[in-house]
Structure 1
Amino acid sequence: MPYEPLKLSTPTPVLSWANHRLGLEETQMAKNMASLPFVFKHIALMPDVHLGKGALVGSVIATKDAVIPAAVGVDIGCFTGDTLIPLIDGKSYPLRELADSGKPIYVYSCTKTGKIVATEAIARLTRQNAPLVKVILDNGVEIKCTPDHPFMLRDGEYQEASQLRKGTSLMPFYSKVDRDGYTLIQQNYSGRWQKAHWIIARSGLLGKVPKFENQRTVIHHKNFNQADNSPDNLEFMGNRDHSAYHGSLVDRSTHWQSPEFEKQRKDALAAKSKTSEGYQYYAERGTRNILQYMQNNPEHFQQSVSGNGERGKQYLVHYNQSPKGRAKSKEIANRFYTCEIYGEQVKSPIGLDNHRKYQHTYNHKVVDIIFLNESQDVYCLSVPEYHNFALSAGVFVHNCGMAALKMPFTADQLEVKLKQIRLEIEAAIPVGFEENKDAEKAVTNWQGWREFKELHRGVKDLETKAIRQLGSLGGGNHFIELCLDTDDQVWLMLHSGSRHIGNKLAECHISTAKNLAKLAQISLPDPDLSYFVAGTPEFAAYWHDLQWAQEYAKFNRDVMMNRFKKIVEKHLAGGKPTKPLLSVNCHHNYAEKEVHFGEEVYVTRKGAVRARTEDYGIIPGSMGAKSFIVKGKGSYESYCSCSHGAGRLMSRSKAKKQFSIDDLVAQTQGVECRKDSGVLDEIPGAYKPIDQVMENQADLVEVVATLKQVLCVKG
């Protein structure tokens, strides 16, 4: 049996994946959790379980209509397999097909400022038999996804599908094909249409844009398909060289002058004229030709049209007064025109113009959100750099987040550079209680500051501190590591949270929960197990602040990872930006609504990682041991969870008493890191053996990559 049912006299069973007996305090804490009236089914203890505040670290608790505020975290959901994703090759593909291929793809992403870029991504199956909602947009498109999947709002923020409301404005994705066959993308920050191949180029997918002497730089499509903007299909050329190249092809090939080609050309022109873009193009060209004819041949033109008015006047008057003419005039006045962006029907050309201007200028709106009585396997994309992607439905959504990067560097490139890299990381990223002296532009522009005034009143005076701490590591078990896998490939790994502001928010809500329990005279085995009941104002306030703190924590890691990545690129790539080969990001704490054993429950993962089928996760060891990139197996008994690390074997105070600096030096041999009393409590000997922890959860996860630290930064 992979787990052991503990022999506890509690209403709710406790299942343990740990291979050791719980101590007296741990056993009592497990009993306390299992005695709560709203706990569902059973409690699951992960292999790294140890003492925590109120609840055991490494425990997974499912509850009905209540949540304990000690838990922090949200999660990201996914889409049904038939959801279409537009790629830069000009085609849209179902998510399931992209996931089955297993190959990297190129998608469109959007920055918070509304700039659309192109970037690499990978699709994967993320959850099986997941509950669904349907989001209906004002263009008539329906999107099926899990209730927790965040959609990108028009202001750059994110909101879960279940929290969207009618009229909510989403970040739009508009594309069309121009009269020459090139794909155009409308930039949300300016409203201007931009050719997609230049978006690809300016996103860095083609390398540095070259200059050609006395020529304008253009981009050539090698397969002559202007809609295919795959990086390997695009080539920089000078404009005159480009024209000469096409001319040489015509000269060398009789195909371009053959009857077959001429017929194909005419058929293509006829088909183009039937499209709205083609009709407009030919109408404009015809107008230009007529005007040119009038200017160049004025006498012939005057002769040709002389008497037109007199000849036609009588006919027009007769026709307009006839029943047929009156019917035609009425039909024209009541004719409906189709909005080319949304497909809506609007009366009269003037009405169509006003509709475009006032109703649909650079915006998609939610029409309805419907909770469905069905479940499906769902999929998502991993987008390492921008963390969102466009749907063919015309909106941007968040990707499945991750927090480790596999880089295109190898171990030999690190020789004699580790110490300098560590010193630069410590100089660029504040650790411990330190904070940034100056806030960078990306930090001050973070959209989350707009909601700061809506947070718990107990943190109103912490905004300046929260700004300065955004992009800082903290202390304890937080770390920045540079690792090597078994193929000597370089990985960047980082673990941090929501800093002081997150901790203070938790304290405020825990205090509120304790006061409510006291007022209601609720008897609890531990005051730290005080809870909020779903549907109450206190629950709603806590959930709102929880979401905010999690977004703060995520952006904090993004800021640090960006600095970390730039430092490594400076030493290993001459400062040139690089694309990660794989990105993984997982939170070590969760409180979310899920379906388990056929029922909807709140799942609290305190010091545990979600491990549904195909979920990627990180299980770090101590600062001198191995770490693991894993993929979940979806064990229903563990509520699809696994451990968040090795887990402490002893307290920090005990570690400082038991070990010396010499022990720290010996146990971190081969790792570039601090070796002083300030990090003695993080010595590997204070943690459980990671290999044993991994062996105990072999039924929960499979190992994707085994990493060994070569550099570690701690507070």
Structure 2
Amino acid sequence: MEKQINGRDLIAIGYTEGRTLGMALELLNQPGLPQEHDAALALLKQVKEQPEQFLDDEKLEPLATAIIEDANAPVDTTIALSEEPKDYAIYGAAHIDEGARKQMSVAMRLPVTTAGALMPDAHQGYGLPIGGVLAANNAIIPYGVGVDIGCRMALTILDIPETHLLQHEDVFKKELIEHTKFGAGAGFHGRYRADHAVLSRDEFNLTQFIKQLKDKAWSQLGSSGGGNHFVEWGVIEFSERDEALNINKGKYVALLTHSGSRGLGATIAGYYTRLAKQLCRLPKEAANLAWLDMQSAAGQEYWLAMNLAGDYAAACHETIHNKLAQAIGGTILARVENHHNFAWKETWQGQEVIVHRKGATPAGKGVMGIIPGSMTAPGFLVRGKGNEDAVNSASHGAGRQMSRTKAIQNIAKEDFLAILAANNVTLIGAGLDEAPMAYKDINQVMAAQRDLVDVVARFSPRIVRMADDGTSED
């Protein structure tokens, strides 16, 4: 052969690095093959392009078989992560566990990630950590929203003075028990069912899967989940007049609720998370961050279903607030509410992105939100500052510092009861897993996000109702 064929020559005619290229090079040293450079190269090209024609050739059959096997081998469609995570801001870093940081770092390595931030109440979750904010390009991540789609806060401020609540606590407690239900599977039946325009939404006919969830949604309308979900009476104090809300300085009775989209949202979340994992294969450490392309049918379907679940969650809060406001009387001065498990289309640095807030409060400039503490710690009515480094977000609460299991193992019931008495809080339901000691210090959390929100008013719980057994949310 006048010129020896090398690997670059074979790659030029269609071979790739690997075993078939090596086998082809070895064949060139065997007798019986063309010795002329161009003829040998032409033959190997023909074997590469039409291997089935050489299966009966004693010398070329092994190469032809290997080429066919490689062509039919399963293709690894796993999407690679970037080597290094994009930079992201961390607030209250000293009080955030390593698990949450690791999860956030993985999320910042996704090829669709544009920006992110970790809030001061952050702790480890599934996929995106609780307290994680992630902006993605043209992608929606079901586990970036969370299982309880549209989990949210709602606050109703009444023109009732604090003294009235203190003097008639038995009435407020009675109505709270009468008009609320809690826990997995809890709902209303027969004449006790509420109604709401959300149940007539066209999205309930989006697919057969969603259509079959409507009756469950109807029965659970106006109910609350387990875990850290609550309905509570308390006192909200404005240290100065708030012009936007038209509320004067002073103390007012207020109703505060925390819950999500119940079984409807949980079922939607489970279905589309499984679908995302089938369509978007990621390395093991990132598997729970599988996304749906917003331009795909599946992505659009989830987007519509997610928004339906979010509006349903809002309807649940509205139903509870209207029932209790009517039962207690008084004039509603203001109502503020916000999701903290959801995804929004927003503009970040001039680009439209999908901002996932999994346990984080929207805090765009002038946007109002509610950040609760615990059943004995204060909550805060806040107004966002629009901090771009935080992707216009803030914490969604104090955040857990102790897992549910550890709380049950380490917190004594007498200590739990003592802290309730010390804070003049009446508790209905809840387990040791929701004891105030299981949560971070809300004052430290608020101090860590002074650059993210301004405090408008302070809410102090007085009568708190939660699920009787501390079950996790639907």
Check whether TM > 0.5: yes
Measured in 2, the distance between the counterparts of 1:61 and 1:448 equals: 32
* Contact 2:88–2:118 under 8 Å retained in 1: yes
Partner of 1:482: 233
* Contact 1:456–1:545 under 8 Å retained in 2: no
Measured in 1, the distance between the counterparts of 2:233 and 2:428 equals: 17
Structure 1 runs not aligned, ≥5 long: 1-7, 74-400, 570-577
| Partner deviation per Cα, 1:683-704 (whole Å, 9 max, x = no partner) | 1110100000000000111110
**Amino acid in the other structure paired with 2:460:** K
| Partner deviation per Cα, 1:191-231 (whole Å, 9 max, x = no partner) | xxxxxxxxxxxxxxxxxxxxxxxxxxxxxxxxxxxxxxxxx
Matched, 1:674 2:430: no
**Amino acid in the other structure paired with 1:496:** S
After superposition, residues 341-380 of structure 1 pair within 5 angstroms as: none
Partner of 2:267: 504
**Amino acid in the other structure paired with 2:268:** L
Give the counterpart of 1:541 among 301, 313, 338: 301
Measured in 2, the distance between the counterparts of 1:663 and 1:402 equals: 28
| Partner deviation per Cα, 1:545-590 (whole Å, 9 max, x = no partner) | 0111111111111111111212322xxxxxxxx4322221111123
Partner of 2:240: none
1:608 Cα offset (Å): 0.6
Partner of 1:419: 170
1:32 Cα offset (Å): 1.4
Matched, 1:26 2:93: no
Measured in 1, the distance between the counterparts of 2:307 and 2:181 equals: 24
Give the counterpart of 1:493 among 256, 263, 286: 256
State the SS of the aligned residue for 1:613. coil
1:430 Cα offset (Å): 1.1
1:440 Cα offset (Å): 5.1
The count of aligned residue pairs is 367
* Contact 2:401–2:440 under 8 Å retained in 1: yes
After superposition, residues 84-123 of structure 1 pair within 5 angstroms as: none
Partner of 2:246: none
Partner of 1:465: 216
**Amino acid in the other structure paired with 2:426:** C
| Partner deviation per Cα, 1:160-186 (whole Å, 9 max, x = no partner) | xxxxxxxxxxxxxxxxxxxxxxxxxxx
After superposition, residues 54-69 of structure 1 pair within 5 angstroms as: 54-69=127-142
Assess, with a 3 A threshold, how the Cα gap between structure 1 residues 64 and 604 changes in structure 2: closer, same or farther.
same
State the SS of the aligned residue for 2:143. coil
State the SS of the aligned residue for 2:339. coil
**Amino acid in the other structure paired with 2:101:** T
Matched, 1:645 2:405: no
After superposition, residues 209-220 of structure 1 pair within 5 angstroms as: none
Assess, with a 3 A threshold, how the Cα gap between structure 1 residues 654 and 536 changes in structure 2: closer, same or farther.
same
| Partner deviation per Cα, 1:279-329 (whole Å, 9 max, x = no partner) | xxxxxxxxxxxxxxxxxxxxxxxxxxxxxxxxxxxxxxxxxxxxxxxxxxx
* Contact 1:60–1:604 under 8 Å retained in 2: yes
Assess, with a 3 A threshold, how the Cα gap between structure 1 residues 562 and 70 changes in structure 2: closer, same or farther.
same
| Partner deviation per Cα, 1:459-484 (whole Å, 9 max, x = no partner) | 55433222110110111111111111
* Contact 2:232–2:465 under 8 Å retained in 1: yes
Assess, with a 3 A threshold, how the Cα gap between structure 1 residues 558 and 21 changes in structure 2: closer, same or farther.
closer
Measured in 2, the distance between the counterparts of 1:624 and 1:604 equals: 29
By percentage of residues, which structure has more strand? 1
* Contact 2:160–2:253 under 8 Å retained in 1: yes
1:653 Cα offset (Å): 0.9
State the SS of the aligned residue for 2:400. coil
State the SS of the aligned residue for 1:403. strand
State the SS of the aligned residue for 2:366. coil
Which range is displaced more, 655-664 or 422-431? 422-431
1:524 Cα offset (Å): 5.2
Assess, with a 3 A threshold, how the Cα gap between structure 1 residues 495 and 610 changes in structure 2: closer, same or farther.
same
Instruction: Give the structure with higher Rg (CA).
Output: 1
Structure 2 runs not aligned, ≥5 long: 1-81, 147-151, 238-249, 468-474
**Amino acid in the other structure paired with 1:54:** G
Assess, with a 3 A threshold, how the Cα gap between structure 1 residues 18 and 455 changes in structure 2: closer, same or farther.
farther
Partner of 2:120: 47
**Amino acid in the other structure paired with 2:226:** G
Partner of 1:557: 317
**Amino acid in the other structure paired with 2:222:** G
* Contact 2:196–2:315 under 8 Å retained in 1: no
* Contact 2:232–2:257 under 8 Å retained in 1: yes
Matched, 1:430 2:181: yes
Partner of 1:619: 371
| Partner deviation per Cα, 1:431-485 (whole Å, 9 max, x = no partner) | 113211225575166443553232462x554332221101101111111111113
Partner of 1:532: 292
**Amino acid in the other structure paired with 2:117:** A
State the SS of the aligned residue for 1:526. helix
Assess, with a 3 A threshold, how the Cα gap between structure 1 residues 583 and 517 changes in structure 2: closer, same or farther.
same
1:530 Cα offset (Å): 0.6
The percentage of counterpart residues that share the same residue type is 34
Measured in 1, the distance between the counterparts of 2:191 and 2:312 equals: 15
1:596 Cα offset (Å): 1.0
Q: CA RMSD in A?
A: 2.2
Partner of 1:176: none
**Amino acid in the other structure paired with 2:106:** N
Assess, with a 3 A threshold, how the Cα gap between structure 1 residues 455 and 471 changes in structure 2: closer, same or farther.
farther
1:624 Cα offset (Å): 0.7
Measured in 1, the distance between the counterparts of 2:205 and 2:359 equals: 29
Measured in 2, the distance between the counterparts of 1:645 and 1:441 equals: 31
